[in-house]
Amino acid sequence: MSSSDRDDRAISFDRPTSARAYGWMLGGKDIYQADQDILLYMLGRFPECVDIARQNRQFLYRAVRYLVEEAGISQFLDMGCGLPTDNNVHQVAQRFNPDARVVYVDIDPIVLAHGRALLADYRASTTVVTADMRTPELILADPDVGHLIDFTEPVAVLFLSVGHHLKDFDKVGKGARHVLRHIIDNVAVPGSHLAFSQVVSDDPTLGEAFAAKIDASGIPWQSRTPAEVDALFDGLEQITPGLVNLVDWRPDPNQPPLEPVPEPLRRYIGATERRTNVYEYGGILRKP
Ligand SMILES: C[S@@+](CC[C@H](N)C(=O)[O-])C[C@H]1O[C@@H](n2cnc3c(N)ncnc32)[C@H](O)[C@@H]1O
């Protein structure tokens, strides 16, 4: 990426961002000192973060493939899409249905800067919108969303590894439940789907310790227990195997591998084999 692809006026380099810290764990190279500092600090206490980030990204492939091949979905609204890497949503979806359309949404303008370059070949079917998912009404009113997504047809709304960025009570918007449910409940037609994941802990005290460290860095964070996540999705049908640790969601040993883990993070690979208290939890739900 050249510097001219970026909107440097809006991109912050002295504060950590979730998009860059997560992207680094997936093998990304767009990483700055502030991102490294918070991530390495977190890994000192929670070494499982690298594994669970990568387990989430592998779930993304399986979820999108399921949504296209088995649920017949051809339009996707990807909330908090993150920095592009291998096997992004539009690439997975269009591998299984070349007519699939994708709107990416992220609050971090660096995602748009990277997305523009990546999407040069996909303009008619895929776009990136810089917006805050905590105000879904504004996202629905965005002309780029209306241009690609037809809400009279089933849609998949993805909230992958973003649930922890949504607080139950937030100074922006009406809180996590509204963000997650507004589109699926009030706008999407039956047969639409919602894919979700977030960092959870069975131990609320541990979850709170995890959240406090990240929240203090300026990245909004709320850990939940699995039961607290389940309560957000009452009334929607759970696609088998339901909401689970993502490693148990239809594992596929033949799915494409991720980019290699960057050298400074390699020592953390495999931590989830020893530590099972913090993990990424989620699945796919269907509007009946
Ligand atoms: C952990 S990454 C997940 C990326 C991608 N969904 C995935 O599963 O690979 C979280 C992303 O959510 C974005 N994000 C956080 N809060 C947001 C908000 N309020 N609105 C839109 N995007 C947000 C961050 O910028 C980041 O790119």
Residue whose Cα lies nearest atom 11 of ligand 1: it is 80
Quote the pLDDT of residue 32: 93
Q: Where are the alpha helices (DSSP H) in the chain?
A: 18-25, 33-45, 49-69, 89-96, 109-118, 136-141, 143-148, 176-186, 204-216, 226-230
How many residues are given for the chain? 288
Domain count within the chain: 1
The C-alpha R_g of the chain, in whole angstroms, comes to 18
**What is the spatial distance between Cα 57 and Cα 132, in angstroms, rounded to a whole number?**
21
Q: Is residue 30 assigned to a domain?
A: yes
Mutate to test the pocket of ligand 1, among 81, 170, 179 (most ligand atoms within 8 A of CB): 81
Q: Is residue 3 assigned to a domain?
A: no
Quote the pLDDT of residue 8: 41
Residue whose Cα lies nearest atom 4 of ligand 1: it is 82
Q: Is residue 147 assigned to a domain?
A: yes
Residue 133 Cα: closest atom of ligand 1: 20
Ligand 1 centroid to 106 CA: how many Å?
6
With b for 16 or more beta-carbon neighbours within 10 A and e for fewer, the 47-62 pattern comes to bbbbbbbbbbbbbbbb
Query: 3-class SS at 60?
Result: helix
Residue whose Cα lies nearest atom 23 of ligand 1: it is 80
Q: Is residue 74 assigned to a domain?
A: yes
How confident is residue 118, by pLDDT bands cut at 50, 70 and 90?
Answer: confident
Q: Kindly report the CATH number assigned to the domain that includes residue 62.
A: 3.40.50.150
Residue 53 Cα: closest atom of ligand 1: 1
Q: Is residue 79 assigned to a domain?
A: yes
Owning domain of residue 174: 11-286
Q: Which residues contact 19 (CB under 8 A, 6 or more apart)?
A: 82, 83, 106, 108, 110, 111
Average pLDDT over residues 84-95: 95
Ligand 1 centroid to 99 CA: how many Å?
25
Could you read off the pLDDT of 183-236 as tens digits, one per residue? Answer: 999 999 999 999 999 999 999 998 898 899 888 888 999 999 999 999 999 999
Ligand 1 centroid to 198 CA: how many Å?
11
Ligand 1, residues at Cβ distance < 6 Å:
17-19, 22, 56-57, 60, 80-82, 105-108, 111, 132-134, 160-162, 165
Residue 9 has pLDDT above 70, yes or no: no
Could you read off the pLDDT of 226-275 as tens digits, one per residue? Answer: 999 999 999 999 999 999 999 999 999 999 999 999 999 999 999 999 99
Residue 6 has pLDDT above 90, yes or no: no
Quote the pLDDT of residue 1: 29
Q: How many Cβ atoms from other residues are within 10 Å of residue 217's Cβ?
A: 19
By the 8 A CB rule, do 85 and 27 touch?
Answer: yes
